[in-house]
């Protein structure tokens, strides 16, 4: 096993970022000469700085890139905030770019970054793998969907297992006809929903919209409720759509959670501020961003490390939108 930055940090009982900055040659940071000498000495003793990648280090720019398939939701804003905070702690500034309309390989030289975090945009990343400039750019993928590229480091949130837990919660509070609300696309959440429906022998109930638009979700839920098909629980693609779902159910004259229990996904702050506060499958965003920055920093210093994969688990935050302790209606 090759020696990593974390191995050296553990040996010296120093922060990961301090060791990485020394090995990267970041002379612009306030690290004492004694600490720098100690890190380099131990790294040499452990065989770390003898690796070929350390003999020809990349010239540091002090900037990291964050590529995202979209940046317009509250959840994406949360991701940007956590990545920026962790990047600053590691001594970097952040450059954010939306890949909603693609990323042409010709713009790579203009980015002037030491490495890149790619959030849920593995398709665009894989399309750039044949670009020699991209191949030399340290990159870490992260997210709950569209985040796995075999040749790259990855921090993945196990969204499928989390979705099954959220659906099991709805069943546990008495929901017998659980619907799925989300955009008309197959991803880990919808696939897990179909698996759950099959496991409990329930006919799938899907309320699909063209996009993640809250207005589309509100209208779709209201119209679906007006068709008369019984349902008493909804698992939503994200918290924004869950907030819209509650509004749509009210438009249809239904009460949450008395008539229909609602669970969202993401864990944004707005979910807890809605009326009623919405139960959400929360993503471990700060942990994901912290690990991704750590892996990327490691990769910047030593590109010879084999690709690494970390998997994290989301967690359910219980709130009033799924609290069905009141008398439930008969379907």
Which of 14-18, 253-257, 278-282 has the weakest average pLDDT?
14-18
Highest mean pLDDT among 21-35, 129-143, 226-240, 317-331 belongs to 226-240
- Residue 132 scores a pLDDT above 60: no
Mean pLDDT score, 23-36: 75
CA 252/CA 221 separation, integer angstroms: 8
DSSP annotation of 136 reads T
For 103-119, b/e burial (b = at least 16 CB within 10 A) is beeeebeebebbbbbbb
* Percent with pLDDT over 90 in the chain: 60
The residues spanned by each domain of the chain are 5-55, 159-283+317-322
Mean pLDDT score, 99-109: 56
Which pair of structure tokens corresponds to residue 155?
């921090």
Mean pLDDT score, 165-181: 97
pTM: 0.78
CA 297/CA 186 separation, integer angstroms: 33
Confidence of residue 148 (pLDDT cuts 50, 70, 90): confident
- Residue 127 scores a pLDDT above 80: no
Highest mean pLDDT among 47-61, 89-103, 158-172 belongs to 158-172
Instruction: Name beta bridge partners: 153.
Output: 140
Q: For the domain 159-283+317-322, what is the CATH superfamily, name and number? A: Response regulator (3.40.50.2300)
In this prediction, residue 1 carries a pLDDT of: 64
- Residue 159 scores a pLDDT above 60: yes
> CB neighbours (10 Å) of residue 263?
32
If residue 153 lies in a helix (H) or strand (E), which one and from where to where?
strand 153-157
Residue 289, classed as helix, strand or coil, is helix
Tokens 């008395």, located at residue? 258
In this prediction, residue 55 carries a pLDDT of: 38
If residue 125 lies in a helix (H) or strand (E), which one and from where to where?
helix 122-127
**What confidence tens digit (pLDDT) does each residue in 219-229 have?**
999 999 999 89
CA 320/CA 288 separation, integer angstroms: 27
Which of 138-147, 201-210, 255-264 has the weakest average pLDDT?
138-147
Nearest to 129 by CA among 142, 139, 117, 119: 139
- Residue 154 scores a pLDDT above 90: yes
CA 23/CA 17 separation, integer angstroms: 10
Name which residue leads in pLDDT, 306 or 99.
306
**What confidence tens digit (pLDDT) does each residue in 211-221 have?**
999 999 999 99
């Amino acid at each position: 096993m090759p020696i990593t930055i974390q191995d050296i940090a553990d040996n010296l009982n120093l922060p990961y970022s301090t060791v990485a900055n020394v090995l990267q040659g970041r002379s612009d940071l306030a690290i004492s000469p004694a600490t720098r000498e100690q890190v380099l000495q131990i790294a040499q003793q452990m065989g770390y700085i003898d690796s070929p990648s350390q003999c020809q280090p990349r010239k540091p720019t002090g900037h990291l890139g964050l590529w995202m398939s979209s940046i317009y939701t509250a959840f994406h804003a949360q991701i940007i905030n956590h990545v920026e905070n962790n990047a600053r702690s590691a001594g970097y500034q952040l450059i954010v770019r939306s890949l909603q309309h693609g990323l042409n390989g010709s713009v790579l030289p203009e980015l002037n970054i030491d490495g890149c975090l790619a959030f849920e945009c593995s398709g665009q990343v894989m399309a750039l793998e044949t670009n020699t400039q991209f191949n030399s750019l340290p990159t870490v993928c992260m997210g709950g969907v569209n985040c796995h590229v075999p040749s790259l480091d990855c921090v993945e949130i196990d969204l499928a297992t989390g979705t099954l837990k959220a659906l099991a919660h709805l069943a546990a509070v008495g929901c017998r006809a659980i619907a799925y609300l989300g955009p008309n696309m197959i991803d880990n959440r919808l696939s897990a929903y179909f698996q759950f429906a099959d496991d409990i022998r329930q006919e799938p109930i899907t309320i699909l919209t063209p996009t993640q638009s809250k207005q589309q979700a509100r209208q779709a839920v209201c119209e679906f409720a007006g068709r008369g098909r019984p349902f008493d629980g909804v698992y939503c693609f994200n918290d924004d759509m869950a907030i819209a779902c509650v509004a749509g159910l009210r438009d249809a004259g239904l009460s949450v959670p008395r008539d229909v229990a609602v669970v969202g996904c993401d864990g944004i702050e707005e979910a807890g501020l809605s009326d009623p506060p919405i139960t959400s499958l929360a993503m471990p965003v700060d942990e994901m961003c912290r690990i991704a920055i750590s892996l990327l920093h490691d990769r910047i210093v030593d590109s010879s490390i084999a690709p690494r994969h970390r998997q994290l688990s989301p967690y359910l935050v219980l709130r009033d939108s799924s609290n069905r302790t009141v008398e439930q209606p008969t379907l």
